[in-house]
């Protein structure tokens, strides 16, 4: 007959397996935290890009209106210069704070999900 799981293992082997499992769980936890931080950074970057696009669109519409108005005017001078381009976003302490806030929210949601899963598993055993 096959040997049941755990039978035949020495205490040292069991301890080594438990240590390897804890190490693996720690690695997984670190990867999750890193992934959350990267996801939050991406989310913030997308938000900034959307804001920049909206600002550029508004600026171009205003510039177009000024050009059209200059063509309609009697003195028809040269059209106004195009609006200045925005400088690329430079990371700031506010970005870090926002990023930390998003990561914290994700951690809170993850903890709530784990509690809900635990309750569901406990209810299934009853």
- Of all residues in the chain, the percent with pLDDT exceeding 90 is 0
What is the C-alpha to C-alpha distance for residues 20 and 12, in angstroms, rounded to an integer? 12
Whole-structure pTM value:
0.39
pLDDT for position 56: 85
What is the C-alpha to C-alpha distance for residues 36 and 106, in angstroms, rounded to an integer? 7
pLDDT digits (tens, 9 = 90+) for 56-104: 888 888 887 777 777 666 555 666 666 666 555 555 667 777 777 777 7
Region 9-14: what's the mean pLDDT? Answer: 79
Give exposure, 60-69, as e/b (b: 16+ Cβ within 10 Å). Answer: eeeeeeeeee
């Amino acid at each position: 007959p096959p040997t049941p799981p755990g039978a035949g293992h020495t205490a040292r082997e069991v301890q080594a397996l438990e240590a390897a499992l804890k190490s693996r769980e720690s690695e997984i936890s670190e990867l999750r935290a890193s992934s959350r931080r990267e996801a939050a950074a991406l989310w913030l970057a997308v938000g900034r890009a959307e804001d920049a696009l909206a600002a550029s669109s508004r600026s171009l519409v205003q510039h177009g209106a000024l050009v059209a108005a200059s063509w309609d005017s009697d003195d028809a001078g040269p059209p106004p210069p195009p609006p200045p381009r925005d400088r690329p976003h430079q990371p700031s302490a506010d970005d870090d704070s926002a990023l930390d806030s998003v990561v914290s929210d994700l951690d809170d949601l993850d903890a709530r999900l784990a509690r809900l899963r635990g309750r569901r598993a406990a209810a299934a055993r009853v």
